[in-house]
Structures are given as C-alpha cells and as structure tokens.
Chains A and B, each alone.
Chain A
Amino acid sequence: MAISNATLAGLTRTQLLEMHYMMSLLRRFEEKSAEEYTRGKIGGFMHLYIGQEAVGVGSITNLLPEDRVLSSYREHGHAILKGMEPRVVMAELFGKSTGCSKGKGGSMHMWSNELGVYGGNGIVAAQLPMAAGLAFAAQYQGLNNVTMCFFGDGAVDEGAFHESLNLASLWKLPVVYMCENNQYSMGMAVAKAWAVDSLMPRAAAYNMPGEQVDGMDVIAVYEAALRAVERARNGEGPTLLEIKTYRFRGHSMTDPAYYRTREEEHEWRNTRDPIGIFEKRLQEQGIATQAEFDQNDARATQVAEDAADFAENSPDPAPAELFTGVMVDNSTALSFRRERE
C-alpha cells in the first residue's frame, strides 16, 4: 500500500524512510562488527550501538554538513550518520590503511575533517571540553555551525562534564550536549552513581535549558534535538538533552553483563526496540509499509556485508606508517632530533 504525503514532525515520507534505513543500517553494521570481532578480525575494545539507534538518527538528522559531531567510544553510528562510509568505518575497525584514521585509531577513534566527525574518545567525558572549544571557534569566527556532543551517563560523573556545561553556558556557546543515558556506565547503574534522578537539576545548575527525552522514540529525539540545534544556531546558547535509552548488548564485546538481569534485557528488546517502535508508528499512520521496511533492512544488510568485504580486502598500514604523523612536521617526531649519523 503506497502512501500519501503524510508527514510526521514535519518530516516528509522520504525523510522518514531514510531515517528508518539509517536505523537499520546502524543495527546491521553493528551486528556485522560483532560477528567480525568474534572471528578475530577486530581487536581491542569495541562498544556497540545496538539499541541506541534512535538517539543518533533522531539527532544527527538535524545537522548540516558544516556542523560538528564529537562522541565517546560508542561512536560508529555517529560517524556513519554524519556521512562516513560504512566501509571506511569497518576498515578502521579492522585496523586497515583504508580506515578513516588509517588503522591507527580503531573502534574508539573515528575522524573526518571534511564530514565534521571530530572523534571518538576513549577517555570518558574528554569530548565535552573540546566541544565547547569547537563551538567557541565557530562563535569567534562568526560561523553559523553547531557542535553536537554525545556522551554516556558515566561522563556525567566526571568533572569535565560540570566544567564544560558551566563554560558553555557562561560563554553562550552554540553546542548541544547529548547525554545518551543507557542506564549503565559499564556495570554501574545510574541510580548508584547519580545523586539526582535526572539531568534536569544539572541543566538548571548551569543555567541552560534541558529536556528529558524518550530515546527509543526517534521522532521524540528528532524534535528535542531540533529545538536544541535551533537554539544553538540562533545564538541562544547551549542545551543539555538527557536521552533515555538502553544498550541491548554489553558495555563492550567482552562484557557478560552480570550486573543486570536477562529479564530486564528481554523486556527492553521485546517491547522497546527503537526500530520496532518506529516501524509500528509509520505503519499505524499509514506512512510506510512492511515491504518498505524489509527493503531497507535488506539494503542495510548488504551495505554491512560490503563494508566487511572491503575491510577484509584492504591492505594493512605500511610499516613506514609507524613513525608517520606523530607531529604535523615529521622532522620532530622523535624525542630527539638527529640529522647526522
């Protein structure tokens, strides 16, 4: 049944279907990553985005090419949503020379100057101060771009969170702070770590607007992020969004998740899957059909497969890369400068 020009939240049918495709792509991409990890093709720490797709898709849909995204180590999805080719992300996971960071970064370290993908940080909350600085640079240069900074609920416990919100508010910086509250910082439940039960008092403490959002509802995320992005773009300063979500997998690939019950996980997966929720809504409102969802999913699966093939068939970094790029000017890469033998 093909569908009208019905809209949702001001988004066209084409846009909504694209959002559905991106959610499917992130899901399939991460499933493929997990598979390749267990095959030993991917090393180190790897943190999957499965379950949190509505957060990235709902928010980054609002951004322009010149806007910037900073993130934590759970950032494969953010990079892809900001325009990075899944192939390039997967190649980075494989540590290949065709990866976005030439295989030197890995799962936690995606970057692209052109796309405004500004990392991938392995240090919890490190991106919050840098996001303030990037937003300051835009303000200083009279540019109209917005900086969007993703972090988890664990980052809220760090001093950098508090220092950054204070500075962003004080200087009225065009930044959107997106807390993806997936309810566990590794194994630590939010209720055991926060002295408050929501981020709203914390937004208030730094004199900035805050909203709590259902992170399993991509449209709710979209609408909240839209308000925040517009505020930033209009020079009205920063916003703190607390997006309540749930990761369906462990903290990282090596986490058996003993700190929560299987029942809790099943409950979320079976009744709160953001893709399922979105599909139901699109169908109920007569905007899209199951056949279209299936088509999107097949395409997403294909793209994830292709990304893995590309990564598999890409070359390792050349040995000379080891000492390349420590400094911008490679002459001073070592601890001592020696020109003569």
Chain B
Amino acid sequence: MRTITYRDALREAIREEMLRDERVFILGEDIAGYGGTYAVSKGLFEEFGEKRVRDTPLAEEVITGAAIGAALGGLRPILELMTVNFSLLASDQIINSAAKFHYMFGGQPQIPLVIRMPGGGGAQRGAQHSQMLETMYAHVPGLKVVTPATPYDVKGMLKSAVRDPNPVLFIEHELLYNIKGDVPDEGVEYTVPLDRGEVKRAGQHITIITFSRMLHVTMQAAEDLAKEGIDAEVIDLRCIRPIDIDLLVDSVKKTNRVVIAEEGWKYYGTGQGLAALIYEFAFDYLDAPIQHVHGADVPMPYSKSLERLAMPNKDAIVKAAKAIVPAVLAHT
C-alpha cells in the first residue's frame, strides 16, 4: 500500500488499462498537450502518443458521438468531458444514443464507453460550473452512473468501467482530485465493481448514506457524532445507477434510522429516489422518518459566504442525525 492522490490513482488506472488493452484510448478537450483540465492525463500523451491520447475540438456533442461510434467500431474509448456542466451539450448523444442503442436495436450493438467528468461546487466557480447532474443521468435506463470518492475506489472502478461492455458515466468531483488515500502498489491488480456500495464506517445507531465528495464530509460528521455517543454507519453508494439496495436494507435493519447526505438539489434527485426505495423495501424497519441533507435549492452563488451557505456541511449532517436518534439511544 501507498498513499496517493485521487488524481494519481485515476491516471494510474487509465495508464494500466492502456497498457493492458490496445483498444483503449483517451480523448477530450485539452487532455494531450495540456495534460487535462485537472491534470489527470498529464504525461500520457508523452508516453502513448497522438494515436491514443487525442485532443479534440471544443465540441462536446461530436466528441461524445464520435466516442460512441468508436466504441461501436470495436475500440474502448475513455472520453473526458471537461466538466459535468458541459455534458449537457452532449446529453443527446448520451441519453438518445449511448443509453438506447443496445436495447433499441435488439441487443446487437454494444457501447463499451467511459465518459469521465467532474462536477460539484465549493470552489467559487459560480452557477454554471458547480452543478451535480449525476442524478439526471441516473434517471435513464441503459446507463451506469458511478461516483467514486476515494483514491482506492476511483482506480478500481475506472478499471472496471473500461472493461464494462456498457456505457459508464464516471462522475468525479472537482474537489476530490487532491485528496489522498491508500492504494495498492502499482502493478498490484485489483478492480472495484460498478454495482456495489460499501460500508465505510460500521455503526449501530444510524445509517448515513452518501456518495462522491460528501463521503468525506460525512466521515467527519460521524466522528463528531461519535463524541456525542452516536455510532453512525456510513455507506458510500459508489454507484447511483444501479443502486445497491441490499446493502442499504441490511444497514437499515440494524440501525432503523437513515440520513441521506448529498451535494445535489433536493427535488427528484438521488436522495429522494433512495428514500423512496428504502420506504419501499425497509419501511417496517424504520423508527423515524428519513432525513435528507442536500444542497440549497438555488443556482450556485459565486460569493464565498453565499456558496458556503448553499453547500451541505458536516454540521447539517450532525443535526439531521441527532434529530432522529433519541438521547437515550445515544449512550447504549
């Protein structure tokens, strides 16, 4: 094991998959000479050359459609869209082509495509550069949508995504690239599945379900709660389509209480979808209404003070948990 950043873990995964399989190539805006907007692909152009590390024009619709075409033609593209916000320009190809073709054409075409894109707020990038749009894509049958939060998971899941025969939307977060975590040594092969969440902290009093960057906020909240005698179980979904419902139900059976913490907006989102699934499959095990911590229902403001108010934080999670864990339970 060593400790490396999320960015380096991603790059290692891309590089190892490119070395493993000649069909794997990467394309995107400024990924070659520039090294990627978030420096994820730095050095890969020098190592693999123009054939396999392709700078593209600034044209999300065609590069996404071309990546789909390349996948149909037998390649394994990893497409980097500069941010999830720009993916809206490519959303026709993602939703009307990538998600539909396998089913609509009777199971014939396969689209083994990975689209990487970071989303999220917290860096004062304003309303058009701070969105969490994963929930929109998770609504659509035919896609896999994953949101790895740690260096270990991001490396293992990218490898799985490249090898997956389906289109995978690989949602990163702009504030995760510099976080560090334990990752097996280079050359030690491992993958992380694209349909399993993980208990990142075991606990008995309450289940806090989260994903992407909010995992780290939630882990801090769990530490605070522990100081007050509340033992929280933290589940990282890792993938939001499909949802690993068995893992959630098992946890709810144990704790009987649920907080869902996400950075995105409240309505019709991943959190509300999860809550509905838990009510559907584990209603009888719930001792309290599910609490939902989420981003403010506004376009993201620029001002640092306002942005801080718009982002869900540790205190909000602690407060939500305490609201449904009775004091008498907290010290058992």
Contacts of B66 in A (CB 8 A): 129-130, 132-133, 136, 164, 167
- Interface stretch (choices A57-65, A112-120, A255-263): A112-120
* C-alpha gap A340/B249 in the complex (Å): 10
- Interface stretch (choices A98-106, A209-217, A288-296): A98-106
Q: Which residues of B58-97 have CB atoms within 8 Å of chain A's CB atoms? A: 59, 61-75, 92-93, 96-97
* A2-19 contact mask (Cβ, 8 Å, vs B): 1 or 0: 000000000000000000
Do the beta carbons of A101 and B108 come within 8 Å of each other? yes
Do the beta carbons of A113 and B109 come within 8 Å of each other? yes
Chain B contact residues (Cβ within 8 angstroms of A): what range?
Answer: 35 or more
- B27: nearest residue on chain A (CB-CB)? A136
Do the beta carbons of B65 and A160 come within 8 Å of each other? yes
Do the beta carbons of B57 and A129 come within 8 Å of each other? no
Q: Which residue of A123, A133, A331 is within 8 Å of B92 (Cβ)? A: A123
Contacts of A163 in B (CB 8 A): 57, 59, 61-62
* C-alpha gap A133/B109 in the complex (Å): 14
Q: Is B224 among interface residues, defined by CB-CB distance under 8 A?
A: no
* C-alpha gap A129/B63 in the complex (Å): 7
Chain A contact residues (Cβ within 8 angstroms of B): what range?
Answer: 35 or more
Q: Is A178 among interface residues, defined by CB-CB distance under 8 A?
A: no
Q: Is A218 among interface residues, defined by CB-CB distance under 8 A?
A: no
* A306-341 contact mask (Cβ, 8 Å, vs B): 1 or 0: 000000000000000000111111011111111110
- Candidate in A132, A166, A337 with the most chain B CB atoms within 10 angstroms: A337
Do the beta carbons of A337 and B245 come within 8 Å of each other? yes
* C-alpha gap A132/B273 in the complex (Å): 37
* C-alpha gap A333/B51 in the complex (Å): 34
Do the beta carbons of A335 and B106 come within 8 Å of each other? no
Q: Which residues of A79-106 have CB atoms within 8 Å of chain B's CB atoms? A: 99-105
Do the beta carbons of A123 and B106 come within 8 Å of each other? no
Q: Is B266 among interface residues, defined by CB-CB distance under 8 A?
A: no
Q: Is A137 among interface residues, defined by CB-CB distance under 8 A?
A: yes
A-B contact list, 29 entries, CB within 8 Å: A100-B106, A101-B104, A102-B106, A104-B106, A105-B105, A105-B106, A126-B92, A126-B93, A129-B69, A130-B69, A133-B65, A133-B69, A133-B70, A133-B71, A135-B69, A136-B70, A140-B25, A140-B51, A140-B75, A141-B73, A164-B62, A166-B59, A167-B62, A167-B66, A325-B106, A326-B102, A335-B241, A337-B195, A338-B281
Q: A-side interface residues toward B, CB under 8 Å?
A: 99-105, 109, 111-113, 118-123, 126, 128-138, 140-141, 159-160, 163-164, 166-167, 170, 324-329, 331-340
